[in-house]
Amino acid sequence: MTATSRRIDLAAWPFAGPLARLMDVLDGKGEEARVVGGAVRNALIDAPIHEVDVATTAVPEEVIRRAKAAGFKPVPTGIEHGTVTVVIDKHPFEVTTLRTDVETFGRHAKVAFGRDWREDALRRDFTMNALSVTRDGTVHDYAGGLDDLAKRHVRFIGDAAQRIAEDYLRILRFFRFHAAYGGGGPPDAAGLAACIAAREGLSQLSRERLRMEMLKLVAAKHATPTLIVMSDAGFTLSILAGVIYLSAFENMTKVEAAAGLAADATRRLGALGAAVAEDAERLYQRLRLANHERDRIRSMADGWHGLSPAMSEREMRALIYRRGVDAFTDQALLAWARSQAMAHDAAWHEFIARAQRFTPPVFPLKADDLIKRGIAKGPALGAALRAAEDAWIAADFPTDAAALRAIADEAAARRS
């Protein structure tokens, strides 16, 4: 299987201008260049295209020479594996020379450069990722990717066990691609069996790579059924090093949509793996999360208890002021997801909407307001300011001068 009747209009893509200039430079004078991988797959299913990768018969040194001659900026980001990043008008394109495997041992496979498009395609992971397109829009398919893509069927190229042995990250990529591009049904049986047989290989992967794949997976369209399969097969326990809360995760996907919010990977990971603060630390250690991701999940785990539409307006506003709108929203969504309420529950809808409508005010009193009332600089001044702020919050954020004077007077009197 090679060239097909399927065609893609590259001129309609993002970055079409810079891409056309790159193809002008690389495709010709004895060399061929094609767009490959995810951009082709996404174009065929009308999914967003975020980056464009190009493959070429030209060796990296020739890619660099041609790019420089055209006034582009070539960066040798992975030149030992044949990859040069070419920057055109601030848009980066990964350009990789066709390769053939000489030895395969995980991510550090020894490769040689080649000129065979079919051989290069068949060394990739999944059939839907092995598609390529020439500059005239002709789609080339060497592995049955078009048929699998039409069926939304994620399938390894050739022998699944061999593909996995080449890189154990492909186990997680299999589940992540099934969650993102599968049709919602069961995963490919042969692929799943090979993943289960090789699951011990996940222990060889860095925590950073686990994090990258899991954050993408939890935000995917069919994350819930995929995570159920992974849990049944024992993957989630080994990846996350603890229990998971599948029902809370599924509910989080529903209440996010009900609240009109986009899928948020960190928030979903918190729903999946964190019920208490210690869970956030475990996820941080296991996945090497960024500090802000850990802090956000810890805030969710600490703050969701007790939140409900039964709270008074004043209670809600006080909590939002102290925690921030974003943190409170995360916590409220988690409380909703872990409640007995359905995604269409009107009270929870209004609770989330009220939280998002509230803009926390700025505390109007300053240190000078208390210094003028006889409080000296130092610890007593800080304590008086905190007491004044607490009183201001308890009074529901008054702004009139008389109320603010009374708050300042009382705070100063208590510290004098």
3-class DSSP string for 201-260: HHHHCCHHHHHHHHHHHHCCCCHHHHHHHHHHCCHHHHHHCCCCCHHHHHHHHHHHHHCC
Question: Rounded to an integer, what distance in angstroms lies between the CA atom of residue 188 and that of residue 177?
Answer: 11
Q: Check: CB of residue 171 under 8 Å from CB of residue 29.
A: no
Q: What is the CA radius of gyration of the chain?
A: 28
Q: Residue 134 — left, alpha, or beta (φ > 0 → left; ψ -120 to 50 → alpha)?
A: beta
End-to-end Cα distance, the chain:
87
The strand pair at 33-36 and 3-7 is best described as unpaired
295: phi then psi, degrees, rounded to nearest 5: -65, -35
Question: Rounded to an integer, what distance in angstroms lies between the CA atom of residue 237 and that of residue 246?
Answer: 12
Question: Rounded to an integer, what distance in angstroms lies between the CA atom of residue 301 and that of residue 270?
Answer: 7
Residues with Cβ within 8 Å of 340's Cβ and at least 6 positions away in sequence, in order, are: none
pLDDT for position 2: 82
Question: Rounded to an integer, what distance in angstroms lies between the CA atom of residue 281 and that of residue 168?
Answer: 26
* Nearest in space to 65 (alpha carbons), one of 54, 76, 55: 76
CB count within 10 Å of CB 46 equals 7
Residues (pLDDT < 50) of the chain are none
CB count within 10 Å of CB 402 equals 8
pLDDT for position 414: 86
Residues with Cβ within 8 Å of 277's Cβ and at least 6 positions away in sequence, in order, are: 298, 301, 302
Question: Rounded to an integer, what distance in angstroms lies between the CA atom of residue 57 and that of residue 333?
Answer: 51
Residues with Cβ within 8 Å of 77's Cβ and at least 6 positions away in sequence, in order, are: 83, 84, 85, 94
Q: Check: CB of residue 197 under 8 Å from CB of residue 189.
A: no
The full DSSP string for 265-310 is HHHHHHHHH-SSHHHHHHHHHHHT--HHHHHHHHHHHHH-TT--TT
Helices 265-273 & 277-287, crossing angle to 10 degrees? 120
Q: Cα–Cα–Cα angle for 203, 208, 210, nearest 5°?
A: 50
